[in-house]
Amino acid sequence: MHDERFDLIVAGGGIAGLAAATGAARAGLRTVVIERATEVGGVARSTERDGFALNLGPRALYPPAARLLDELGVVYPHGQPPLTGYALADGRLHAMPEGPVGLLRGALFDGQSAREASEALGALASADAGAIAWESLAGWVRGRSIGARARQFLYAIIRLAGYIDAPERLSAAAAQEQLAEAAGGVRYVDGGWRTIVAGLRSAAEGAGAAIRTGARVAGVRRDERGITGVALADGAALRAPSVVLAMNPEAARAIVAPAGGRIAATEPVRAAVLDVALARLPNPEGGFVLALDRPLYLSVHSVAARLAPAGGAVVHAARYLRPDEHPDAKEVRTELESLLDLVQPGWRAVVAFDRLLPDMTVTHALPSAEGGGFAGRPSVAVEGLPGAYVAGDWAGGEHQLAGAALASAKRAVKLAIERRAAMFAGAEA
């Protein structure tokens, strides 16, 4: 591999890296993906055991990500989950046969609180995003003087849409965009997100990109014009005028900093998750739970996607974590198991296996009010290092979660193509 030449090197084989490789190779760039693990996928990998497919937590595909995958020609059989089930409030389950918005017509809300909640949702959806980008969600809500129950409802819906429990920090404009993206309905993917990973890998390799696993990019090389290639951990060197770092922001900073590159600070969004495989589902009506007065959520993903053997079920219970919160793992397990006891009584007798993720990163960049929302995430182009680009759920100003990862990958490829064209034009001149 010493001194091999490429047009683009992609460091990282998650969905952002594979998407970037696909786009670049289809544009005619000689492209290679370097993945440190023995298999591609990153956090989008799924675990298969005894016929069950478990993602790393409750992963849902939002419309922007679905559209970007469609552009790449990736096929992912899926289903759309019903949002019927229960609301959890005041320690009790309340039937939710019409979905979350239907709660406003039920016993949990009197006329005034229902009006307040409905009007607040409408006002947030129609607000000028530029005017509220630097205002926290909590600050925006305080300005409307709505009651406690209506505020609980609004915060619960926004937690559901973006997996974030930080109203004092979250940009109101980011909350608005999360609601808009979720309004189109989410998709649960048959076979788990490994289906998407397999589709992206097939697309990348089909376009001509090379994929090398078990190799690690240790640093980048540069000259006065910017990137010239990368150094691998085993001492080999690859040459290319552009590099896409499709990895977490801490790893990307460690690679570009010695070469003079700068990536703005980010703050992760986290959750505690209990993934559970059941031989059968004790309560078929308990497929979805949204808590109003606690940052809890439960969803049976196998209701909408093929993730379990016949009669079985895959359930995800989660607690959204505040930015400063680091709960004890035993405490989290007890809380999430208690939620399952309430919703799926008897589940312990039919559990095939479970997995606790007490401090899982949901996304690597909180779209904060102090940063101006999604626009405050680091730029795709690395400052101070021409030819170096980043891609992931934390980069660029478009979309959230997987949508952000795929959009930033698309943007990085466009910039790499433009750089290559400019270099050729300069050489000819």
pLDDT in tens, 74-110: 999 999 999 899 999 999 999 999 999 999 999 999 9
83 beta partners = none
| Predicted confidence (pLDDT) at residue 20 exceeds the cutoff of 70 | yes
Mean pLDDT across 246-270: 97
> Would you tell me how many other CB atoms lie within 10 Å of the CB of residue 168?
12
Q: Measured between alpha carbons, how far is 48 from 351 in angstroms, rounded to an integer?
A: 16
Cα torsion through 282, 286, 292, 297, rounded to 10:
70
Q: Is the pLDDT of residue 2 over 90?
A: no
What is the tens place of the pLDDT at every residue in 160-201?
999 999 999 999 999 999 999 999 899 999 999 999 999 999
DSSP letters of 385-417? -TTEEE-STTSSSS-SHHHHHHHHHHHHHHHHH
Q: How confident is the model at residue 145 (pLDDT cuts 50, 70, 90)?
A: confident
List, as one string, the DSSP characters of 314-327: EEEEEEEEPTT---
Q: Minimal CA–CA distance to 209: which of 422, 421, 416?
A: 416
Instruction: Say which DSSP state 259 is in.
Output: G
Q: Say if CB 316 and CB 354 are below 8 A apart.
A: no
- State residue 205's pLDDT score: 98
Q: Please, what is the angle between helix 194-206 and helix 15-26, to 10°?
A: 20
pLDDT, averaged across the chain: 96
Q: At what angle do helices 194-206 and 63-71 cross, to 10 degrees?
A: 30
Q: Would you call 373 exposed, middle or buried from its count of C-beta atoms within 10 A (0-12, 13-18, 19+)?
A: buried
User: Which domains occur in the chain, in start order?
Assistant: 4-45+194-265+369-428 (3.50.50.60), 79-189+269-363 (3.90.660.50)
- pLDDT tens across 370-393, in order? 999 999 999 999 999 999 999 999
What pLDDT does 3 receive?
73
Is this structure's pTM higher than 0.85?
yes
Region 267-280 average pLDDT: 97
